[in-house]
Amino acid sequence: MDAIIEGFSLLLEIENIILITLGVLIGVLVGALPGLSSPMAIALLTPFTIQLEPIPAIAMMAALYCAGTFGGSITAILINAPGAPPAVATALDGYPMAKRGEPGRALGLATVASVSGGIISLIIFIVAAPTLAAVALEFRPPEYFALAVFALSMLASMTGKSSLRNLIAGAVGVLLATVGIHLTTGVERFTFGIPDLDEGIHFVPVLIGLFAMGELLSQSSTLNDAVERIEAKAMKLPTWAELKELKNCILRSSGIGTFIGILPAEGSTVAAIVGYNEAKRFSKKKDEFGTGTPEGIVGPEAANNSAAGGAMVPTLALGIPGSGSTALILAALIMHGFRPGPYLLNETPEFLYAIFGAMLFANIAFLAIGLAGAKFFSLVTFIPKQILWPSVFIFAVIGAYSSSSSFVDVYVMLVAGLIGYFMNRHGFGAAPLVMGLILGKMVEEAFSQSMIIYDNNFLALMESPIVLFFFALTALNLSTPFWTGFKNRKAAKA
Protein backbone atom coordinates (compact mmCIF):
# COMPACT_ATOMS: atom_id res chain seq x y z
CA MET A 1 0.00 0.00 0.00
CA ASP A 2 2.87 2.36 0.78
CA ALA A 3 4.26 1.83 -2.74
CA ILE A 4 0.87 2.64 -4.26
CA ILE A 5 0.54 5.88 -2.27
CA GLU A 6 4.12 6.89 -3.07
CA GLY A 7 3.68 6.09 -6.76
CA PHE A 8 0.50 8.15 -7.07
CA SER A 9 2.05 11.04 -5.16
CA LEU A 10 4.84 11.23 -7.76
CA LEU A 11 2.25 12.28 -10.35
CA LEU A 12 0.93 15.27 -8.42
CA GLU A 13 3.58 17.67 -9.70
CA ILE A 14 2.11 20.17 -12.16
CA GLU A 15 4.71 19.29 -14.82
CA ASN A 16 3.69 15.64 -14.75
CA ILE A 17 -0.01 16.46 -15.04
CA ILE A 18 0.62 18.78 -18.00
CA LEU A 19 2.73 16.16 -19.81
CA ILE A 20 0.15 13.42 -19.23
CA THR A 21 -2.63 15.70 -20.51
CA LEU A 22 -0.51 16.53 -23.56
CA GLY A 23 0.05 12.83 -24.14
CA VAL A 24 -3.71 12.25 -24.04
CA LEU A 25 -4.37 15.03 -26.56
CA ILE A 26 -1.71 13.72 -28.95
CA GLY A 27 -2.97 10.17 -28.54
CA VAL A 28 -6.60 11.03 -29.32
CA LEU A 29 -5.56 13.09 -32.33
CA VAL A 30 -3.21 10.43 -33.71
CA GLY A 31 -5.69 7.65 -33.03
CA ALA A 32 -8.46 9.58 -34.79
CA LEU A 33 -6.47 10.16 -37.98
CA PRO A 34 -6.68 7.23 -40.42
CA GLY A 35 -3.24 5.89 -41.26
CA LEU A 36 -1.49 7.20 -38.17
CA SER A 37 -0.86 5.00 -35.14
CA SER A 38 0.18 5.10 -31.51
CA PRO A 39 3.45 3.17 -32.11
CA MET A 40 4.50 5.75 -34.70
CA ALA A 41 3.66 8.64 -32.36
CA ILE A 42 5.52 7.00 -29.45
CA ALA A 43 8.55 6.38 -31.67
CA LEU A 44 8.57 10.03 -32.72
CA LEU A 45 8.11 11.15 -29.11
CA THR A 46 10.90 9.01 -27.64
CA PRO A 47 13.88 11.22 -28.64
CA PHE A 48 12.18 14.26 -27.10
CA THR A 49 11.81 12.53 -23.72
CA ILE A 50 15.55 12.04 -23.19
CA GLN A 51 15.77 15.36 -21.34
CA LEU A 52 12.78 14.54 -19.12
CA GLU A 53 12.79 12.69 -15.82
CA PRO A 54 11.92 8.99 -16.18
CA ILE A 55 8.50 9.12 -14.54
CA PRO A 56 7.00 12.01 -16.60
CA ALA A 57 8.58 10.61 -19.78
CA ILE A 58 7.14 7.11 -19.42
CA ALA A 59 3.87 8.47 -18.00
CA MET A 60 3.41 10.65 -21.08
CA MET A 61 4.02 7.69 -23.40
CA ALA A 62 1.62 5.48 -21.42
CA ALA A 63 -1.07 8.18 -21.58
CA LEU A 64 -0.56 8.54 -25.34
CA TYR A 65 -0.85 4.75 -25.69
CA CYS A 66 -4.20 4.63 -23.82
CA ALA A 67 -5.66 7.65 -25.61
CA GLY A 68 -4.54 6.39 -29.01
CA THR A 69 -6.50 3.18 -28.46
CA PHE A 70 -9.63 5.22 -27.72
CA GLY A 71 -9.03 7.80 -30.48
CA GLY A 72 -9.21 5.15 -33.18
CA SER A 73 -12.91 4.67 -32.44
CA ILE A 74 -13.75 8.24 -33.52
CA THR A 75 -13.13 7.84 -37.24
CA ALA A 76 -14.21 4.19 -37.07
CA ILE A 77 -17.65 5.45 -36.04
CA LEU A 78 -17.83 8.59 -38.19
CA ILE A 79 -16.28 7.49 -41.51
CA ASN A 80 -15.72 3.71 -41.14
CA ALA A 81 -11.94 4.15 -41.30
CA PRO A 82 -10.47 2.85 -38.02
CA GLY A 83 -7.80 5.28 -36.86
CA ALA A 84 -6.10 2.52 -34.84
CA PRO A 85 -6.03 -1.28 -35.27
CA PRO A 86 -8.10 -2.05 -32.12
CA ALA A 87 -10.99 0.03 -33.55
CA VAL A 88 -11.57 -2.51 -36.33
CA ALA A 89 -14.35 -4.20 -34.39
CA THR A 90 -15.89 -0.91 -33.24
CA ALA A 91 -16.54 0.11 -36.85
CA LEU A 92 -18.74 -2.95 -37.41
CA ASP A 93 -21.63 -1.44 -35.40
CA GLY A 94 -20.42 2.09 -34.68
CA TYR A 95 -20.52 3.21 -38.30
CA PRO A 96 -24.01 1.78 -39.02
CA MET A 97 -25.31 3.57 -35.90
CA ALA A 98 -23.77 6.85 -37.11
CA LYS A 99 -25.21 6.33 -40.62
CA ARG A 100 -28.72 6.02 -39.25
CA GLY A 101 -28.38 9.41 -37.54
CA GLU A 102 -26.96 8.61 -34.09
CA PRO A 103 -23.24 9.48 -34.20
CA GLY A 104 -23.39 11.28 -30.84
CA ARG A 105 -24.87 8.21 -29.19
CA ALA A 106 -22.26 5.94 -30.80
CA LEU A 107 -19.42 8.19 -29.60
CA GLY A 108 -20.94 8.32 -26.13
CA LEU A 109 -21.22 4.54 -25.90
CA ALA A 110 -17.63 4.12 -27.13
CA THR A 111 -16.29 6.68 -24.67
CA VAL A 112 -18.05 5.30 -21.59
CA ALA A 113 -17.09 1.71 -22.50
CA SER A 114 -13.46 2.74 -23.12
CA VAL A 115 -13.18 4.58 -19.82
CA SER A 116 -14.91 1.77 -17.92
CA GLY A 117 -12.73 -0.93 -19.44
CA GLY A 118 -9.53 1.02 -18.88
CA ILE A 119 -10.31 1.87 -15.25
CA ILE A 120 -11.48 -1.65 -14.38
CA SER A 121 -8.31 -3.24 -15.75
CA LEU A 122 -6.04 -0.70 -14.06
CA ILE A 123 -7.69 -1.14 -10.66
CA ILE A 124 -7.22 -4.89 -10.98
CA PHE A 125 -3.56 -4.54 -11.95
CA ILE A 126 -2.72 -1.92 -9.35
CA VAL A 127 -3.86 -4.36 -6.68
CA ALA A 128 -2.75 -7.67 -8.21
CA ALA A 129 0.08 -6.92 -10.68
CA PRO A 130 2.68 -9.27 -9.11
CA THR A 131 0.27 -12.23 -8.98
CA LEU A 132 -1.04 -11.72 -12.50
CA ALA A 133 2.49 -11.42 -13.82
CA ALA A 134 3.25 -14.83 -12.36
CA VAL A 135 0.23 -16.30 -14.20
CA ALA A 136 1.52 -15.02 -17.54
CA LEU A 137 4.77 -16.92 -16.98
CA GLU A 138 2.80 -20.18 -17.18
CA PHE A 139 2.14 -19.65 -20.91
CA ARG A 140 4.73 -21.39 -23.05
CA PRO A 141 4.71 -21.89 -26.85
CA PRO A 142 2.17 -24.79 -26.66
CA GLU A 143 -0.26 -22.61 -24.69
CA TYR A 144 0.18 -19.71 -27.10
CA PHE A 145 -0.44 -22.04 -30.04
CA ALA A 146 -3.68 -23.33 -28.51
CA LEU A 147 -4.83 -19.80 -27.67
CA ALA A 148 -4.16 -18.57 -31.22
CA VAL A 149 -6.04 -21.53 -32.73
CA PHE A 150 -8.99 -20.75 -30.46
CA ALA A 151 -8.93 -17.10 -31.57
CA LEU A 152 -8.91 -18.18 -35.23
CA SER A 153 -11.94 -20.41 -34.62
CA MET A 154 -13.88 -17.33 -33.55
CA LEU A 155 -13.73 -15.96 -37.08
CA ALA A 156 -16.66 -18.17 -38.08
CA SER A 157 -19.10 -16.08 -36.06
CA MET A 158 -17.82 -12.64 -37.01
CA THR A 159 -19.18 -10.19 -39.57
CA GLY A 160 -19.96 -11.41 -43.09
CA LYS A 161 -22.72 -13.27 -44.90
CA SER A 162 -21.65 -16.75 -43.83
CA SER A 163 -19.31 -18.59 -41.48
CA LEU A 164 -17.64 -20.27 -44.44
CA ARG A 165 -16.76 -16.93 -46.07
CA ASN A 166 -15.31 -15.72 -42.77
CA LEU A 167 -13.14 -18.82 -42.43
CA ILE A 168 -11.94 -18.44 -46.03
CA ALA A 169 -11.00 -14.80 -45.38
CA GLY A 170 -9.20 -15.83 -42.20
CA ALA A 171 -7.32 -18.56 -44.08
CA VAL A 172 -6.18 -15.96 -46.64
CA GLY A 173 -4.89 -13.84 -43.76
CA VAL A 174 -2.97 -16.79 -42.32
CA LEU A 175 -1.49 -17.47 -45.77
CA LEU A 176 -0.33 -13.84 -46.03
CA ALA A 177 1.29 -14.22 -42.62
CA THR A 178 3.64 -16.87 -44.05
CA VAL A 179 5.33 -14.32 -46.34
CA GLY A 180 8.90 -13.61 -45.26
CA ILE A 181 11.75 -15.47 -43.61
CA HIS A 182 10.68 -18.26 -41.26
CA LEU A 183 12.29 -17.43 -37.94
CA THR A 184 12.84 -21.03 -36.88
CA THR A 185 14.36 -22.45 -40.08
CA GLY A 186 15.56 -19.30 -41.86
CA VAL A 187 13.78 -20.33 -45.07
CA GLU A 188 12.72 -17.46 -47.34
CA ARG A 189 9.10 -17.76 -48.53
CA PHE A 190 7.01 -15.85 -51.09
CA THR A 191 9.30 -12.79 -51.11
CA PHE A 192 9.86 -12.86 -54.91
CA GLY A 193 13.28 -11.32 -54.45
CA ILE A 194 11.90 -8.19 -52.73
CA PRO A 195 14.06 -7.42 -49.66
CA ASP A 196 11.27 -5.44 -47.99
CA LEU A 197 9.21 -8.64 -47.75
CA ASP A 198 11.88 -10.54 -45.81
CA GLU A 199 10.20 -9.51 -42.55
CA GLY A 200 6.76 -10.36 -43.89
CA ILE A 201 3.73 -8.28 -44.80
CA HIS A 202 3.25 -5.56 -42.23
CA PHE A 203 -0.06 -5.32 -40.47
CA VAL A 204 -0.57 -1.53 -40.61
CA PRO A 205 -0.71 -1.08 -44.43
CA VAL A 206 -3.04 -4.07 -44.77
CA LEU A 207 -5.39 -2.62 -42.17
CA ILE A 208 -5.36 0.82 -43.79
CA GLY A 209 -5.98 -0.68 -47.22
CA LEU A 210 -8.80 -3.02 -46.26
CA PHE A 211 -10.78 -0.46 -44.31
CA ALA A 212 -9.84 3.07 -45.41
CA MET A 213 -9.10 2.37 -49.09
CA GLY A 214 -11.82 -0.26 -49.35
CA GLU A 215 -14.39 2.23 -48.06
CA LEU A 216 -13.01 4.93 -50.36
CA LEU A 217 -13.51 2.71 -53.41
CA SER A 218 -16.97 1.66 -52.22
CA GLN A 219 -18.09 5.27 -51.88
CA SER A 220 -16.42 6.49 -55.08
CA SER A 221 -19.51 5.52 -57.06
CA THR A 222 -21.75 7.67 -54.85
CA LEU A 223 -19.72 10.89 -54.78
CA ASN A 224 -22.45 12.87 -56.52
CA ASP A 225 -25.39 11.25 -54.75
CA ALA A 226 -27.41 13.36 -52.33
CA VAL A 227 -26.98 11.77 -48.92
CA GLU A 228 -28.06 12.71 -45.41
CA ARG A 229 -25.18 14.25 -43.45
CA ILE A 230 -24.19 12.63 -40.18
CA GLU A 231 -24.61 15.20 -37.45
CA ALA A 232 -23.46 15.05 -33.82
CA LYS A 233 -23.92 18.37 -32.07
CA ALA A 234 -22.72 16.82 -28.83
CA MET A 235 -21.72 13.48 -27.46
CA LYS A 236 -24.75 11.72 -26.05
CA LEU A 237 -23.81 9.73 -22.97
CA PRO A 238 -25.86 6.57 -22.37
CA THR A 239 -28.63 6.81 -19.78
CA TRP A 240 -28.56 4.89 -16.50
CA ALA A 241 -31.15 2.52 -17.95
CA GLU A 242 -28.87 1.80 -20.95
CA LEU A 243 -25.83 1.36 -18.71
CA LYS A 244 -27.76 -1.08 -16.55
CA GLU A 245 -28.67 -3.06 -19.66
CA LEU A 246 -25.09 -2.99 -20.97
CA LYS A 247 -23.43 -3.55 -17.59
CA ASN A 248 -22.79 -7.25 -18.05
CA CYS A 249 -21.40 -6.74 -21.55
CA ILE A 250 -18.96 -4.08 -20.31
CA LEU A 251 -17.82 -6.15 -17.33
CA ARG A 252 -17.43 -9.29 -19.43
CA SER A 253 -15.46 -7.50 -22.15
CA SER A 254 -13.29 -5.78 -19.55
CA GLY A 255 -12.47 -9.17 -18.07
CA ILE A 256 -11.67 -10.55 -21.52
CA GLY A 257 -9.44 -7.59 -22.33
CA THR A 258 -7.73 -7.84 -18.97
CA PHE A 259 -6.92 -11.51 -19.51
CA ILE A 260 -5.77 -11.11 -23.10
CA GLY A 261 -3.83 -7.93 -22.37
CA ILE A 262 -1.64 -9.57 -19.76
CA LEU A 263 -0.58 -12.27 -22.22
CA PRO A 264 2.66 -11.11 -23.89
CA ALA A 265 2.35 -10.21 -27.59
CA GLU A 266 -1.47 -10.45 -27.72
CA GLY A 267 -2.53 -6.79 -27.64
CA SER A 268 -5.69 -4.70 -27.90
CA THR A 269 -6.66 -5.73 -31.43
CA VAL A 270 -7.13 -9.38 -30.50
CA ALA A 271 -9.00 -8.33 -27.36
CA ALA A 272 -11.37 -6.10 -29.38
CA ILE A 273 -12.25 -8.87 -31.83
CA VAL A 274 -12.77 -11.40 -29.04
CA GLY A 275 -14.80 -8.85 -27.06
CA TYR A 276 -17.05 -8.25 -30.07
CA ASN A 277 -17.46 -11.96 -30.66
CA GLU A 278 -18.38 -12.67 -27.04
CA ALA A 279 -20.76 -9.70 -26.93
CA LYS A 280 -22.57 -11.25 -29.88
CA ARG A 281 -22.47 -14.74 -28.36
CA PHE A 282 -24.16 -13.64 -25.12
CA SER A 283 -26.54 -11.13 -26.71
CA LYS A 284 -30.25 -11.72 -26.93
CA LYS A 285 -30.28 -9.71 -30.18
CA LYS A 286 -27.66 -11.50 -32.28
CA ASP A 287 -29.41 -10.59 -35.52
CA GLU A 288 -28.91 -6.87 -34.84
CA PHE A 289 -25.11 -7.08 -34.81
CA GLY A 290 -23.66 -5.29 -37.80
CA THR A 291 -26.62 -2.92 -37.99
CA GLY A 292 -25.67 -0.56 -35.16
CA THR A 293 -26.41 -2.31 -31.87
CA PRO A 294 -25.00 -0.77 -28.65
CA GLU A 295 -23.50 -4.10 -27.54
CA GLY A 296 -21.46 -4.19 -30.74
CA ILE A 297 -19.83 -0.91 -29.70
CA VAL A 298 -19.29 -1.31 -25.94
CA GLY A 299 -18.04 -4.91 -26.28
CA PRO A 300 -14.91 -4.21 -28.35
CA GLU A 301 -14.28 -0.77 -26.80
CA ALA A 302 -14.28 -2.07 -23.22
CA ALA A 303 -12.10 -4.99 -24.26
CA ASN A 304 -9.47 -3.06 -26.23
CA ASN A 305 -8.98 -0.39 -23.57
CA SER A 306 -8.75 -2.89 -20.73
CA ALA A 307 -6.20 -4.80 -22.83
CA ALA A 308 -4.17 -1.61 -23.27
CA GLY A 309 -3.80 -1.44 -19.51
CA GLY A 310 -3.13 -5.15 -19.29
CA ALA A 311 -0.38 -5.06 -21.90
CA MET A 312 1.68 -2.85 -19.59
CA VAL A 313 1.89 -5.60 -16.95
CA PRO A 314 4.15 -8.04 -18.85
CA THR A 315 6.09 -5.02 -20.13
CA LEU A 316 6.82 -3.58 -16.70
CA ALA A 317 6.70 -6.69 -14.52
CA LEU A 318 8.29 -9.22 -16.89
CA GLY A 319 10.20 -7.17 -19.43
CA ILE A 320 8.13 -8.77 -22.22
CA PRO A 321 6.26 -6.35 -24.52
CA GLY A 322 2.51 -6.88 -24.45
CA SER A 323 2.00 -5.03 -27.77
CA GLY A 324 3.81 -2.98 -30.41
CA SER A 325 3.35 0.24 -28.45
CA THR A 326 4.58 -1.27 -25.20
CA ALA A 327 7.66 -2.57 -27.01
CA LEU A 328 8.59 1.06 -27.68
CA ILE A 329 7.81 1.98 -24.06
CA LEU A 330 10.06 -0.90 -22.97
CA ALA A 331 12.89 0.55 -25.07
CA ALA A 332 12.31 3.96 -23.48
CA LEU A 333 12.48 2.39 -20.03
CA ILE A 334 15.86 0.89 -20.82
CA MET A 335 16.96 4.20 -22.31
CA HIS A 336 16.14 5.90 -19.01
CA GLY A 337 18.19 3.39 -17.04
CA PHE A 338 15.50 1.04 -15.68
CA ARG A 339 15.56 -2.74 -15.69
CA PRO A 340 12.08 -3.95 -16.65
CA GLY A 341 11.04 -7.22 -15.10
CA PRO A 342 10.99 -8.64 -11.57
CA TYR A 343 13.74 -6.20 -10.60
CA LEU A 344 11.36 -3.32 -11.27
CA LEU A 345 8.81 -4.76 -8.86
CA ASN A 346 11.39 -5.49 -6.18
CA GLU A 347 13.56 -2.39 -6.43
CA THR A 348 11.20 0.43 -7.54
CA PRO A 349 7.58 -0.67 -7.07
CA GLU A 350 6.50 2.97 -6.67
CA PHE A 351 7.54 3.59 -10.31
CA LEU A 352 5.29 0.76 -11.49
CA TYR A 353 2.29 2.21 -9.66
CA ALA A 354 3.12 5.72 -10.88
CA ILE A 355 2.76 4.49 -14.47
CA PHE A 356 -0.56 2.81 -13.68
CA GLY A 357 -1.68 6.03 -12.02
CA ALA A 358 -0.81 7.98 -15.16
CA MET A 359 -2.89 5.59 -17.26
CA LEU A 360 -5.78 5.91 -14.80
CA PHE A 361 -5.61 9.70 -15.13
CA ALA A 362 -5.45 9.35 -18.93
CA ASN A 363 -8.66 7.31 -19.02
CA ILE A 364 -10.51 9.94 -17.02
CA ALA A 365 -8.96 12.72 -19.15
CA PHE A 366 -10.14 11.38 -22.48
CA LEU A 367 -13.67 11.14 -21.09
CA ALA A 368 -13.53 14.92 -20.55
CA ILE A 369 -11.87 15.44 -23.95
CA GLY A 370 -14.52 13.31 -25.63
CA LEU A 371 -17.33 15.30 -24.05
CA ALA A 372 -15.75 18.64 -24.91
CA GLY A 373 -14.61 17.68 -28.40
CA ALA A 374 -17.53 15.65 -29.73
CA LYS A 375 -18.80 18.53 -31.82
CA PHE A 376 -15.35 19.09 -33.28
CA PHE A 377 -14.92 15.42 -34.13
CA SER A 378 -18.35 15.26 -35.77
CA LEU A 379 -17.32 18.04 -38.17
CA VAL A 380 -15.34 15.38 -40.03
CA THR A 381 -18.63 14.02 -41.38
CA PHE A 382 -19.63 17.41 -42.82
CA ILE A 383 -16.60 17.60 -45.09
CA PRO A 384 -17.75 16.92 -48.69
CA LYS A 385 -16.79 13.49 -49.95
CA GLN A 386 -14.83 15.11 -52.77
CA ILE A 387 -12.54 16.59 -50.09
CA LEU A 388 -12.82 13.99 -47.33
CA TRP A 389 -11.80 10.87 -49.20
CA PRO A 390 -8.83 12.39 -51.05
CA SER A 391 -7.68 13.53 -47.60
CA VAL A 392 -8.18 10.02 -46.26
CA PHE A 393 -6.18 8.72 -49.23
CA ILE A 394 -3.30 11.09 -48.43
CA PHE A 395 -3.29 10.05 -44.75
CA ALA A 396 -3.49 6.41 -45.80
CA VAL A 397 -0.44 6.74 -48.04
CA ILE A 398 1.49 8.64 -45.36
CA GLY A 399 0.51 6.13 -42.69
CA ALA A 400 1.40 3.12 -44.84
CA TYR A 401 4.79 4.60 -45.73
CA SER A 402 5.55 5.80 -42.21
CA SER A 403 5.03 2.39 -40.63
CA SER A 404 8.44 1.23 -41.93
CA SER A 405 9.53 3.98 -44.38
CA SER A 406 9.01 1.65 -47.33
CA PHE A 407 7.19 2.25 -50.62
CA VAL A 408 6.47 -1.49 -50.73
CA ASP A 409 4.06 -0.93 -47.84
CA VAL A 410 2.27 1.71 -49.93
CA TYR A 411 1.81 -0.84 -52.73
CA VAL A 412 0.61 -3.41 -50.17
CA MET A 413 -1.92 -0.87 -48.88
CA LEU A 414 -3.24 -0.18 -52.40
CA VAL A 415 -3.58 -3.89 -53.20
CA ALA A 416 -5.28 -4.48 -49.84
CA GLY A 417 -7.72 -1.68 -50.72
CA LEU A 418 -8.73 -3.44 -53.94
CA ILE A 419 -9.08 -6.73 -52.07
CA GLY A 420 -11.20 -5.06 -49.38
CA TYR A 421 -13.46 -3.50 -52.02
CA PHE A 422 -14.17 -6.81 -53.75
CA MET A 423 -14.53 -8.63 -50.41
CA ASN A 424 -17.24 -6.19 -49.34
CA ARG A 425 -19.07 -6.62 -52.64
CA HIS A 426 -19.15 -10.41 -52.32
CA GLY A 427 -19.97 -10.76 -48.63
CA PHE A 428 -16.51 -11.53 -47.24
CA GLY A 429 -15.64 -9.76 -43.99
CA ALA A 430 -12.41 -7.77 -43.88
CA ALA A 431 -11.95 -8.25 -40.13
CA PRO A 432 -11.42 -12.06 -40.39
CA LEU A 433 -8.61 -11.50 -42.92
CA VAL A 434 -6.95 -9.00 -40.58
CA MET A 435 -7.23 -11.43 -37.67
CA GLY A 436 -5.77 -14.21 -39.77
CA LEU A 437 -2.80 -12.01 -40.60
CA ILE A 438 -2.30 -11.07 -36.94
CA LEU A 439 -2.63 -14.58 -35.56
CA GLY A 440 -0.95 -16.39 -38.45
CA LYS A 441 2.58 -15.58 -37.33
CA MET A 442 1.77 -16.50 -33.75
CA VAL A 443 0.28 -19.85 -34.76
CA GLU A 444 3.26 -20.74 -36.95
CA GLU A 445 5.98 -19.60 -34.56
CA ALA A 446 4.35 -21.09 -31.47
CA PHE A 447 3.76 -24.40 -33.29
CA SER A 448 7.36 -24.55 -34.55
CA GLN A 449 8.70 -23.86 -31.06
CA SER A 450 6.35 -26.45 -29.57
CA MET A 451 7.51 -29.12 -32.01
CA ILE A 452 11.13 -28.36 -31.10
CA ILE A 453 10.29 -28.68 -27.40
CA TYR A 454 8.42 -31.98 -27.86
CA ASP A 455 10.63 -33.44 -30.60
CA ASN A 456 7.87 -33.29 -33.26
CA ASN A 457 5.41 -35.18 -31.08
CA PHE A 458 2.12 -33.36 -31.53
CA LEU A 459 0.26 -35.50 -28.98
CA ALA A 460 2.65 -34.29 -26.31
CA LEU A 461 0.90 -30.92 -26.48
CA MET A 462 -2.07 -32.54 -24.76
CA GLU A 463 -0.06 -32.90 -21.57
CA SER A 464 -0.88 -29.28 -20.75
CA PRO A 465 -4.34 -28.73 -19.21
CA ILE A 466 -4.33 -25.17 -20.59
CA VAL A 467 -3.82 -26.52 -24.12
CA LEU A 468 -6.65 -29.02 -23.62
CA PHE A 469 -8.90 -26.24 -22.33
CA PHE A 470 -8.35 -24.03 -25.38
CA PHE A 471 -8.67 -26.95 -27.82
CA ALA A 472 -12.00 -27.86 -26.20
CA LEU A 473 -13.19 -24.26 -26.58
CA THR A 474 -12.09 -24.35 -30.23
CA ALA A 475 -14.08 -27.50 -30.94
CA LEU A 476 -17.11 -26.02 -29.19
CA ASN A 477 -16.81 -22.76 -31.12
CA LEU A 478 -16.50 -24.44 -34.53
CA SER A 479 -19.42 -26.78 -33.85
CA THR A 480 -21.76 -24.01 -32.65
CA PRO A 481 -22.82 -22.85 -36.17
CA PHE A 482 -23.53 -26.47 -37.14
CA TRP A 483 -25.71 -27.20 -34.13
CA THR A 484 -27.43 -23.82 -34.36
CA GLY A 485 -28.25 -24.43 -38.04
CA PHE A 486 -29.44 -27.96 -37.25
CA LYS A 487 -31.65 -26.66 -34.45
CA ASN A 488 -33.11 -23.91 -36.67
CA ARG A 489 -33.84 -26.37 -39.49
CA LYS A 490 -35.49 -28.76 -37.06
CA ALA A 491 -37.61 -25.95 -35.62
CA ALA A 492 -38.59 -24.77 -39.12
CA LYS A 493 -39.52 -28.28 -40.16
CA ALA A 494 -41.61 -28.72 -37.02
Instruction: Please enumerate in sequence order all residues whose Cβ is within 8 A of that of 343, keeping only pairs 6 or more positions apart, or say none.
Output: none
Task: Note the pLDDT of residue 227.
Answer: 44
Q: Where are the domains of the chain?
A: 2-493
The reported pLDDT for the residue numbered 436 is 79
Q: What is the structure's pLDDT at 122?
A: 79
Predicted local confidence at residue 86, as pLDDT: 73
3-state secondary structure of 180: strand
Beta bridge partners of 19: none
| Residues in Cβ contact with 474 at an 8 Å cutoff, skipping those fewer than 6 apart | 146, 149, 150, 153
Give the span between the Cα atoms of 436 and 403, in whole angstroms: 20
Q: In a 10 Å sphere around its CB, with 0-12 CB exposed, 13-18 middle and 19+ buried, how is residue 52 labelled?
A: middle
Question: Burial of 6 by CB count in 10 Å (0-12 exposed, 13-18 middle, 19+ buried)?
Answer: middle
pLDDT for 246: 87
- Give tens-digit pLDDT for 72-104: 787 777 777 666 667 778 888 888 888 887 777
Q: Which residues of the chain have pLDDT under 50?
A: 160, 226-229, 381
pLDDT for 376 equals 67
Return the pLDDT at 383. 56
Q: How far apart are CA 62 and CA 43, in angstroms?
A: 12
Radius of gyration from C-alpha coordinates of the chain: 22
In sequence order, what DSSP letters do the residues of 117-176 get, joined into one string?
Answer: HHHHHHHHHHHHHHHHHHHHTT--HHHHHHHHHHHHHGGGGSSSS-HHHHHHHHHHHHHH
> Has this prediction a pTM greater than 0.75?
no
- At residue 455, the pLDDT reads 85
